[in-house]
Amino acid sequence: MRRIYLDNNATTPVLPEVLEAMRPYFGEHFGNASSIHHHGQETRAAVERARDLVASLLGCRPAEIVFTSGGTESDNLAIAGLTSAGDHVITSCIEHHAVLNACKHLEDKGCEVTYVPVDGRGLVDPGDVRRALRPKTRLISIMMANNETGVLQPAEEIGKIAGEADVHFHIDGVQAAGKVAIDVKRIGCQALSISGHKMHAPQGVGALYVRAGTQLQPLFYGGRHERSRRAGTENVPGIVALGKAAELAMHGFERGDDKKISALRDRLQQGILAQIEAAGVNGDGAPRVPNTSNIYFDHVEGESMVISLDLKGMAVSTGAACSSGAIEPSHVLIAMGLRRDRARASIRFSLGKQNTADDIDLALALVPETIMRLRELSPGYTKTAVSS
């Protein structure tokens, strides 16, 4: 069976060039990057080359990059590392659980957290962020791109508000890195998280940008790795891979890969909407990353669609991978004001660099026939019900 993978916001395949770049660091170049002998110097040089590349992707200095184990650790490091008990934090109700649950933990430790809402398109209003500021506000943490809808938040405007209020600003950039250009200086943030496996590097590696001069409490205590900001022997193959993926992402922007991906995504989205009634795009009308389209199909359960499409060889998702299988509808779609049944009738299509026009052709054949069949089985469905 031919398989089409359209769940790249859950994870992306490692690109062949990335695998090639990291391979020697499992074999001949195995040294500990902290060792002073030849083996250590070799891997230290590779880690520093990767740091340069990740810094170029984000528009910062190499010393401002801290390598971590992924997006979750980067988010936790920023949120715990930039706050102390008694502080007030502002975040949004559509954040990934890596941020939401880190904030819940802060509340348990005596911080107060304000969760700003979003509008029907999934956008945070910077005015709400400004109005939520208090004398004790220490940190604003807002994502750049939402993992479920792909909606891009007004990061620069929020950065300006944070700057004027002299409050730290952390951005979860996990779903934005490699998809849209990021310039941390222009945004004016103190910290920004990225994750390797969302940008064609392997799972288990990530980075946190931390602006020079920002006081950051570490999460782990141990050696003085990463300038004492993240103790633990570096994951050299993973870091090399993240550097290569960052380099490929920059070349991709120069070649216009993002425009190619958004053209494929738009063809998929328009083709689906042209063939299926009572369907629509969640986050329509808001700026979005080029690869994501979250679509509701009334009268069909998201989980049934995911399973039926999987049986035909097509991988999509009902939203955040970690909450797949949960009975609760997506907190992101509910925050956008969707009815619970519509939120549960939504699926996410997310493309990656490996997807081709043939994948989209096949998806355009599989999705309508699957939805029609599931609707016929749905007790509440009639043509009139759908068009009413």
The answer to the question of residue 122 lying near ligand PLP (CB under 6 A) is no
Is 352 a binding residue for ligand PLP by CB under 6 A? The answer is no
Decide: is 123 part of the binding site for ligand PLP (CB under 6 A): no
Query: What is the distance between the alpha carbons of residues 208 and 74, in angstroms, rounded to a whole number?
Result: 5
CB 79 within 8 A of CB 89: yes
Q: Using the rule CB under 6 A, is 91 a contact of ligand PLP?
A: no
Residues 6+ apart with CB under 8 A from 311: none
Handedness of CA 206, 211, 213, 217 (dihedral sign): negative
For residues 180 and 290, the answer to whether their CB atoms sit within 8 Å is yes
Q: Check binding of 162 to ligand PLP (CB under 6 A).
A: no
DSSP structural state of residue 209: E
DSSP-derived pairing of the beta strands 346-350 and 292-297: antiparallel
Residues 6+ apart with CB under 8 A from 208: 65, 66, 68, 74, 77, 78, 191, 192, 193, 194, 229, 230
Does 71 sit near ligand PLP (CB under 6 A)?
yes
Which stretch, 69-77, 111-119, 265-273, 329-337, contacts ligand PLP (CB under 6 A)?
69-77
Site for ligand PLP (CB under 6 A): how many residues? 14
Binding ligand PLP (rule: CB under 6 A), the pick from 90, 98, 113, 177 is: 98
Q: Are 105 and 94 in contact (CB under 8 A)?
A: no
322 is annotated as an active-site residue: yes
For the chain, count helices (H), then strands (E): 15, 12
Handedness of CA 375, 378, 382, 386 (dihedral sign): negative
Q: Which of 44, 96, 170, 211 binds ligand PLP (CB under 6 A)?
A: 96
Residue 182 binds ligand PLP, judged by CB under 6 A: no
**Integer Cα distance of 341 and 360 in angstroms:** 27
State how far Cα 63 lies from the chain centre.
Answer: 23
- Whole-number Å distance between alpha carbons of 190 and 183: 12
Structure tokens at 303: 């989980």
Shortest Å distance, C-beta 122 to ligand PLP: 13
- State which residue, 44 or 198, has the beta carbon closest to ligand PLP: 198
Task: Work out whether 72 is an interface residue with ligand PLP (CB under 6 A).
Answer: yes
CB of 197 to ligand PLP, least distance (A): 6
Binding region for ligand PLP (CB under 6 A) out of 167-175, 214-222, 296-304, 341-349: 167-175
Q: Which of 93, 111, 189, 322 is catalytic?
A: 322
Q: How far is the CB of 249 from ligand PLP (least distance, A)?
A: 16
Site string for ligand PLP, 129-148 (x = CB under 6 A): --------------x---x-
Task: Say how far apart CA 102 and CA 256 lie, in whole Å.
Answer: 36
The reply on whether position 92 binds ligand PLP by CB under 6 A is: no
Residues 201-240 contacting ligand PLP, CB under 6 A: 206
Under the binding rule (CB under 6 A), the answer on residue 175 touching ligand PLP is yes
Report the alpha-carbon distance of residue 299 to residue 147 in Å, rounded.
24
Nearest approach in angstroms of CB 203 to ligand PLP is 7
Among 87, 172, 258, 298, binds ligand PLP (CB under 6 A): 172
> Does 319 contact ligand PLP by CB under 6 A?
no
Asked if 7 is part of the footprint of ligand PLP (rule: CB under 6 A), the reply reads no
DSSP state, residue 125:
P
Closer to ligand PLP by CB, 31 or 81: give it: 81
Least distance in angstroms from the C-beta of 302 to ligand PLP: 17
Residue 7 contacts residue 320 (beta carbons within 8 Å): no
**What are the CA-CA distances from residue 107 to residues 79, 87, 100 (Å)?**
12, 10, 11
Burial of residue 231 (number of CB atoms within 10 Å: 0-12, 13-18, 19+): middle
Q: Judged by CB, which is closer to ligand PLP: 278, or 333?
A: 333
24-63 footprint of ligand PLP as x/- string (CB under 6 A): ----------------------------------------
Rg (CA), the chain: 21
- Residue 70 CB, nearest distance to ligand PLP (Å)? 3
Quick check: 174 binds ligand PLP (CB under 6 A)? Answer: yes
Active site residues: 322
Which residues here bind ligand PLP, judged by CB under 6 A? Answer: 70-72, 75, 96, 98, 143, 147, 172, 174-175, 195, 197, 206
